[in-house]
Amino acid sequence: MNSESGTPQRKERPSEALDPRRYRFRLRLALPCTQRSLEIGVRRVLEMARASGFDESRRTDLAIALREALANAMIHGSGRDPSSHVLLRSYGEPNGGVVVVVRDHGPGFDPGTVPDPRNVDRMRLHHGRGLLLMRELTDHVEYRKGGREVLLFMACR
């Protein structure tokens, strides 16, 4: 939050950091829309994050954000259809960072229309916090392709 205006501050787009050509480690998986494949995807990206120099705390944050991105793609984008797939791409660089891209084949969405889960009328709900968690736990979140693709970036600190 910007303490003067009370509005959320936007994180700067790390344009050079988002260029996949600069990364040594690469991963591309087509994951069936199942809990098991979601966990496989998270495990593989966390292996890359470890090799990129992420400490345990940063890996935990990345795991939470990635689980949310994959779950949203599998549930909302692909309608929980186990015959459907979600595309997961990830790029990592030692002491540089990790870029993760999750894409589904659904209709997409406008993240600006998703209600803030911190609103009083939404606080007791058991869902609806994924986008907030992704924003809070990563250094950069970007929605592309009409909301069918989310990009997460975390720097190695």
- Distance in angstroms (rounded) separating the CA atoms of residues 154 and 137: 9
Say what the pLDDT of residue 1 is: 41
- Distance in angstroms (rounded) separating the CA atoms of residues 68 and 80: 14
Say what the pLDDT of residue 106 is: 92
* pLDDT tens, N- to C-terminus, the chain (157 residues): 444 444 444 454 566 777 878 889 999 999 999 999 999 999 999 999 999 999 999 999 999 999 999 999 999 899 889 899 999 999 999 998 999 999 999 998 888 877 676 666 666 656 557 788 899 899 999 999 999 999 999 998 8
